[in-house]
Structure 1
């Protein structure tokens, strides 16, 4: 009698694919929920929700997605967090550094807008943006950061869609470019101390443009083996 045991490499690969799948689902649920609550509580004016209430609602939705993914594994495909069998194609997808950059930086942009502008605005920020906030309230600018950051993070979760990635990089570049221009104008006129912020945000903007033009590395099986 022969007992066929699964290969350890296959088990590791299945576990890695499952971890990638459930992580992407949980992050996507968090980002989409935060976008929905932010739009409903902000521009749509359906109800009031603070930044932390928005993050808490998104966290609860993400926790629900995590629990569902864990419960689904015994019933669905082993390398998928879905209850539907065969939902995972089984092909290994290389990690996209461009998409990871969109997700990480987009979340950072949202936290900066929610915590650093809406929640605890600094005097230097308000002073450097004096010419801008004459026309647009600082809170509105903060929510702009939150919304565009979430757009970028959501674009980073979309697979095989260069147009969505281009939209995500534009969402990262617009607020950083606005900050760079506003601080540069303030440094040249009434607030010389803003020159450091102008340089920093200018470098951020250039960095976003550079990363947007980079290509993801080829999958391992298409790379040339070193001699």
Structure 2
């Protein structure tokens, strides 16, 4: 059946618009299912992670894992966020408590989580060289084979940053939606004098041991 030219043009235009809207809907649906991790706040450890301080010297530890609506995206680094108009800092800061008589201590830290997609994020305060030089090692964290990060320096009343935040890798997908996220920080302290670290931290790396020997004479 013959259709006037104007009517045929309108029909073709409607078809193009319909196809475009369909493509947009498919793209939007695909984005929602591949770029976000949705976690149910009611079943998730949303807020402060578990923090344990072990040793004779107490530490004050500041950290946060409070995500708005608990939405994490793959291949993303989280250092700060804004929640209800307030800035959230995801770094972990430590310093000796005011109640301590000891001014400075040695510290090692261990972090664990039940999510393989989540790792700690550091910004220039780590070293991977297991030999001590002041220029490359001092005041940095070294991850040893025993699973501990050793601080190659002394921790006192001034904040020392551990991790700057968290990294979510690109293996994250919607299959793990609403699964629980758990994490734990363990900070172990030991006093500087008399080479106590040698008796207690028997698995410490050479980079830490060398620093401690030079620093304390033991």
Give the TM bin, normalised by the shorter chain.
under 0.3
TM-score, reference length from structure 2: 0.25
- Point out the structure with the larger helix share: 1
- Point out the structure with the larger strand share: 2
Higher relative contact order (CA 8 A, sep 6+): 2
TM-score, reference length from structure 1: 0.25
